Structure 1
Amino acid sequence: MPNITFIHPDGHAQNVDAALGDSAMSAATRAGIDEIVAECGGSAVCATCHVYVDDDWLTRVGDVSGDESELLEGVATDRLPNSRLSCQIKITEALDGLVLRLPERQI
């Protein structure tokens, strides 16, 4: 089972096991990570699961779709080049060890 490290705004790391084919958002909400609000439940319509992908992982998480890019324009914190919606990051074996930084707020 792949593992994701979520870095909280205060700097502490939380390791979470993620099921293959699941989203990083689902893994975070199952683990009780409060910084992932996920108001829409992963339907990619709310942008409350915003994360910053660690630079070493950017090429492995896949490209941002047009719809995702549009939603990222409305996030509550700064959109950066490594911003993604965690509901759009699908977990594969290649993402074992993925590092995602959590913004200070989603709303």
Structure 2
Amino acid sequence: MTTSITAVDRDGTQHSLDWEEDQTLMEVLRDNDLPVLASCGGTASCATCHVFLEETVAERLGERSPDELELLEDAAGYRACGSRLACQIEHDQSLHGIRVELAPEN
């Protein structure tokens, strides 16, 4: 089942995207030509897929791993609540309709 999300790029342009079940959030952003470098390929060893989520969505996803949190704390624009690595967010139908904002480049 496809989940629809809104992604806001660094210029403020909104994009309606279809998120397939077999994709992470990073993959749907990258595959739709948004400027997500994803240098590590989704292994949570860089922060080039840093995104901002609405606080209620971030809270619903639960705790970040220690590795993810360490990378995010050093990333440009880090937000204590709302910053996530898109590669660490798996597809979930409950995320239908979320808004994702690309964080500033490091």
Common fold by TM > 0.5? yes
| Alignment partner, residue 9 of structure 2 | 8
Contact 2:77–2:104 (Cα < 8 Å) also in 1 = no
CA distance in 2, matches of 1:79, 1:40: 19
Which structure 2 residue ranges, 5 or more long, are not aligned? Answer: none
CA distance in 1, matches of 2:4, 2:62: 17
Secondary structure at the residue paired with 1:60? helix
**Superposed structure 1 runs of 4+ greater than 6 Å apart:** none
Secondary structure at the residue paired with 1:28? helix
Deviations 1:52-80 (A, max 9, x none): 012242223332111110111221x1210
Counterparts of residues 5-44 of structure 1 (less than 5 Å): 5-34=6-35, 36-44=36-44
CA distance in 2, matches of 1:103, 1:68: 15
Percent identity of paired positions between Structure 1 and Structure 2: 34
Which structure 1 residue ranges, 5 or more long, are not aligned? Answer: none
Contact 1:21–1:92 (Cα < 8 Å) also in 2 = no
Please report how far the alpha carbon of residue 9 of structure 1 lies from its aligned counterpart in structure 2 after TM superposition: 2.4
| Alignment partner, residue 78 of structure 2 | 79
Please provide the CA RMSD for this pair. Answer: 1.4
Task: Normalising by structure 2, report the TM-score.
Answer: 0.89
Contact 2:52–2:103 (Cα < 8 Å) also in 1 = yes
| Alignment partner, residue 51 of structure 1 | 51
Please report how far the alpha carbon of residue 21 of structure 1 lies from its aligned counterpart in structure 2 after TM superposition: 4.2
